[in-house]
């Protein structure tokens, strides 16, 4: 009887543990963007990481929608073996400014399609789809709503936006958090106090050197004048000392 109770308790704990860890695995197996943080106004390389949640079907299509409220002027993709990518664009008004130029058309959606179920994301695997984007907008977050289509026709809709202070939604969309760029450094024209003090010391040294050179030249002239006067005096004394005929 005691053995039966122990066996039943162990079975119950195992079942509860499997359920808990199974739910945790399912909750974490959603599409994400990596890295998850970047700087406003900068450029970056990002990858949409797509895990397969099906036990029998492969992921054969991934559709990523770029947020309308945070347009990006430049978006380029990296080739993924066994997949093709289609780029959809849209008009923006006002235009997006990039290095002094205005861009009136931006990327709206990226769609990756596998050549076949064999080249798709198989059960138990994941695939990354790299992109390069920039300059990143001046906003706190970018939400990329994503559709994941399987070879059996099922579609996972990762479109739920994050909630402030709430639990993670059931089907969260990939979110990129953007932080403000660091403040610009002082302009090159304004010399730091230490540098200004150094320049003042250099100027003082130059003035001292100039004064020393001037005094040296004056001393040299005075010495030459003394030699000339001394020579004239010697010649006059010698002439006076010579006997007359």
175's CB contacts (< 8 A; 6+ apart) are 33, 36, 141, 142, 143, 144, 162
- Structure confidence at residue 225 (pLDDT): 53
**Among the four given CATH numbers 3.10.100.10, 3.30.160.270, 2.60.40.2230, 3.90.380.10, the one describing domain 29-179:** 2.60.40.2230
Average pLDDT across the chain, whole number: 78
Q: pLDDT tens for residues 169-216? A: 899 999 999 999 887 666 555 545 554 445 545 554 555 555 455 555
Q: Name the pLDDT band for 218 (thresholds 50, 70, 90).
A: low
What percent of the chain lies above the pLDDT cut of 90? Answer: 54
- Structure confidence at residue 227 (pLDDT): 53
Q: pLDDT tens for residues 133-166? A: 999 999 999 999 999 999 999 999 999 998 887 7
Candidate from 41-50, 102-111, 208-217 with smallest mean pLDDT: 208-217
Bigger pLDDT: 96 or 32?
A: 32
Structure tokens at 159: 């479109």
Structure tokens at 78: 């990296």
Q: Quote the CA–CA distance of 227 and 229 in Å, as a whole number.
A: 6
Across the beta sheet with 101-114, the strand order is 83-98, 101-114, 59-65, 145-150, 155-158
Q: Name the pLDDT band for 56 (thresholds 50, 70, 90).
A: very high
């Amino acid at each position: 009887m005691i053995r039966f109770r122990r066996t039943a308790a162990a079975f119950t704990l195992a079942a509860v543990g499997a359920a808990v860890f199974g739910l945790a695995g399912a909750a974490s197996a959603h599409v994400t963007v990596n890295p998850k943080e970047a700087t406003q106004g900068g450029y970056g390389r990002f990858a949409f990481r797509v895990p397969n949640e099906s036990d029998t079907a492969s992921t054969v299509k991934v559709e990523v929608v770029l947020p309308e409220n945070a347009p990006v002027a430049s978006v380029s993709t990296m080739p993924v073996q066994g997949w093709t990518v289609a780029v959809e664009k849209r008009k923006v008004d006002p235009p997006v400014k990039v290095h002094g130029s205005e861009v009136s058309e931006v990327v709206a959606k990226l769609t990756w399609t596998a050549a076949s179920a064999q080249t798709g994301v198989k059960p138990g695997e994941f695939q990354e789809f790299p992109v390069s984007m920039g300059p990143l907008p001046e906003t706190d977050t970018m939400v990329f709503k994503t559709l994941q289509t399987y070879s059996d026709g099922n579609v996972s809709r990762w479109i739920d936006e994050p909630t402030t202070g709430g639990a993670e939604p059931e089907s969260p969309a990939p979110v990129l958090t953007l932080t403000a760029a660091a403040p610009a450094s002082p302009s090159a024209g304004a010399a730091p106090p230490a540098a200004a003090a150094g320049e003042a010391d250099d100027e003082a040294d130059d003035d001292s050197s100039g004064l020393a050179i001037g005094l040296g030249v004056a001393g040299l002239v005075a010495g030459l004048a003394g030699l000339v006067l001394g020579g004239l005096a010697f010649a006059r004394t010698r002439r006076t000392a010579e006997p007359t005929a």
